[in-house]
Structure 1
Amino acid sequence: MCYSARIEADYHEYTRLYGADISIGDFVKLYWNRKEGAKLRIPKAVDAAFARDGSQEARQVREWIAQYDAQQATKLEQDLFKQRKRLADAQRTLQVKTTKAAQESQRIATDKIAWTLGKLADLRRTALTGEDARIFPGWYAPVLVVENGRRVVKPMRYQCRPAGKPAFYDSKYPGCYNARRDNLRGFWKEQFGHTHGLVVMDAFYENVSRHAVERRELRAGETEENVILEFSPTPPQPMLVACVWSHWRQGDEELLSFAAITDDPPPEIAAAGHDRCVIPIKPANIDAWLNPDPANLDAALAILDDRERPYYEHRLAA
């Protein structure tokens, strides 16, 4: 399962490289909903793209981003104050008597202070890093689709909720951020051949067992340990990762969401201990993929088979 990816977060690049229009109304709606209290996760690098846009809509989004960041900073500062007080209380207790409760309170407060200071630093930082373009299940990313004959970029949640399904599908099927190629005609039949998209990635991340990465069996008495690997194509290049997506509606609620299609891994990923891989399509197949024929699913599968085949280097993720 591709549980995380580093994406091209700047919608201007979709316009420059792929001739896409931005569906600014969908971005405005997304940021409006977050401003109104919806718990939406949007990468910092997606926010930053609006600094380069002089449109009235982009200016409004920038204002909402600033308001949201200020609210988040206030919450973090309040939490920081509480944890510093907790730490001081624990330290005063320990000066009089050593207790397990005070030691544990000191440990927890110290960890939470460090975490909160890190979050505040990230919030206030203006220079972007690669981590600012990471998405995880439930986070939003720009997705390239076709709408009314034009390539368009829309913000979508990385965890697909198929149209017509109840909202509890998110918890019932938490793995719906990926769509297995061998299940496209089954679970994903309402999307496959109908609503195809592309997400531009330059790396993806997988959970694997340490002993599998090290190509050995578990030692006697050894507990299985999970590590996170970053896989990136060599030489570095953007990957046009095939996706299916859905426009879910219920009353006044709407949700645009997608799942990345995965398949059996190439040898170098299998050797690193993982059993799935995203599918980057060839640029020549963009229009054919984004304009599928529901009556010819074999043609869509042929595009997935005629994929780009870079060599995937891997390293332990930070």
Structure 2
Amino acid sequence: MCYSAQIEADFRKFEREYGAILSYRRFVELFWEKRQDGGWQKIPKAMRDAFRQPRTEEERELLELVTTADKEQANAFEAELFQQKTRLSGAERALATKPTKKAESDQRIATDKIARAQRNLADLQRNTPLDRDARIFPGHYAPVMIMKNGQRLIVPMRYQCRLPGWTEAMEKQKPGTYNARRDNLDKAWRKLFGFQHGLMVITRFYENVEREGENVVLEFSPQPSQDMLVACLWSYSRGSDGEADLFSFAAITDEPPPEVVAAGHDRCIVPIKPEYVDAWLVPDPHDLAAQYAILDDRERPFYEHRLAA
């Protein structure tokens, strides 16, 4: 399963290369929601930083939201640092006089939390972009291209699909819905396949693989290097009892090419060809064979792999 991917987060590239426009309303709603519910870090830094040079009033509004939320996050990390440094000092004093298991535990936990808070704070304040800024995991958000009223539209969606009719409690029982198996599209995914298709643009993907009895993470990169238009299914769930509305999606996966099998993994994302973009985004539910044909006639780059950094 594709558990992590390196996304294209620059919405201007979507505009320039795919003729897609930004759904400002959905971005504003998402930024507000994640600022309030503590989920700000689930929006990749690259996705937030894409608004650092606004051109319109709408983009300036989004930048203001990003700037405010980043400052609030920085304050939270600094407060965590102060709290854990105080905890560490207390543990070290106790260990110097009368060592106890509690003091040892406090020392270890505080040291780990200090290091994590320092990393998070440095990442938040860093201006130089890094690859990890655009990496997503299940539960994170990514820009997904869909079609609405004949216009390609960029909507931020959660990478873990809440299927139609599901509640938040139901999706917690089946956390693997960030991927949709091709051989299950007309079964578990039948309410979305043929109806609500999207595309996520990525440059590489990551998989967990067992090597010599241990789990390692491999990075798979297409050769030659290229953007890949990954076939997705998406869903809209109206919020209830104060819960925000949710746009969510899953990447379609299929049997892997030989080089992915040789690396030790049994699934692979499905990158479609550019000439099929509109046909994929506007499916005919009465002609699913045409959609399967698009998935079959996919881009087939060679995937180099290496241990992920």
TM bracket (short chain): over 0.9
Shift of 1:29: 1.3
Query: Is 1:27 the counterpart of 2:16 in the alignment?
Result: no
Residue type of the alignment partner of 2:28: V
Query: Is 1:257 the counterpart of 2:248 in the alignment?
Result: yes
Residue type of the alignment partner of 2:227: P
Mapped partners of 2:78, 2:35: distance in 1: 19
Shift of 1:92: 1.4
Shift of 1:180: 0.3
Pick closer, same or farther for the CA change 1:103–1:167 going to 2, 3 Å.
closer
Query: Is 1:204 the counterpart of 2:205 in the alignment?
Result: yes
CA contact (8 A) 2:239 2:246 kept: no
Query: Is 1:305 the counterpart of 2:296 in the alignment?
Result: yes
Pick closer, same or farther for the CA change 1:119–1:270 going to 2, 3 Å.
same
CA contact (8 A) 1:282 1:308 kept: yes
| Other structure's SS at 1:294 match | coil
Unmatched 5+ residue regions in structure 1?
A: 212-223
Shift of 1:38: 5.8
Shift of 1:101: 2.9
Shift of 1:114: 1.3
Pick closer, same or farther for the CA change 1:35–1:110 going to 2, 3 Å.
closer
Query: Which residue of 1 is the match for residue 18 of structure 2?
Result: 18
1:78-105 CA distances to partner (integer Å, 9 max, x unpaired)? 1111111111112212222333332332
Mapped partners of 1:102, 1:48: distance in 2: 41
Query: Which residue of 1 is the match for residue 77 of structure 2?
Result: 76
| Other structure's SS at 1:146 match | strand
More moved, 179-188 vs 162-171: 162-171
Query: Which residue of 1 is the match for residue 221 of structure 2?
Result: 232
Shift of 1:248: 1.3
Shift of 1:53: 2.6
| Other structure's SS at 2:305 match | strand
Residue type of the alignment partner of 2:81: L
Mapped partners of 1:274, 1:225: distance in 2: 14
Mapped partners of 1:195, 1:255: distance in 2: 14
Query: Is 1:317 the counterpart of 2:305 in the alignment?
Result: no
Pick closer, same or farther for the CA change 1:110–1:36 going to 2, 3 Å.
closer
Residue type of the alignment partner of 2:65: W
Query: Which residue of 2 is the match for residue 215 of structure 1?
Result: none
Residue type of the alignment partner of 2:130: T
Task: Map 1:140-219; keep pairs closer than 5 Å.
Answer: 140-211=141-212
1:100-126 CA distances to partner (integer Å, 9 max, x unpaired)? 332332222222211111111001111
Query: Which residue of 1 is the match for residue 267 of structure 2?
Result: 276
Mapped partners of 2:287, 2:215: distance in 1: 41
Query: Which residue of 2 is the match for residue 93 of structure 1?
Result: 94
Pick closer, same or farther for the CA change 1:166–1:100 going to 2, 3 Å.
closer
More moved, 267-276 vs 104-113: 104-113
Residue type of the alignment partner of 2:37: G
TM-score by length of 2: 0.95
More moved, 9-18 vs 53-62: 53-62
Unmatched 5+ residue regions in structure 2?
A: none
Pick closer, same or farther for the CA change 1:243–1:113 going to 2, 3 Å.
same
Query: Which residue of 2 is the match for residue 221 of structure 1?
Result: none
Aligned length: 306
CA contact (8 A) 1:163 1:249 kept: no
Mapped partners of 1:201, 1:263: distance in 2: 17
Shift of 1:54: 1.9
More moved, 178-187 vs 38-47: 38-47
TM-score by length of 1: 0.93
Report % sequence identity. Answer: 55
Shift of 1:56: 1.4
Shift of 1:23: 1.2
Shift of 1:25: 1.2
Shift of 1:16: 0.5
Residue type of the alignment partner of 2:228: M
CA contact (8 A) 1:9 1:46 kept: yes
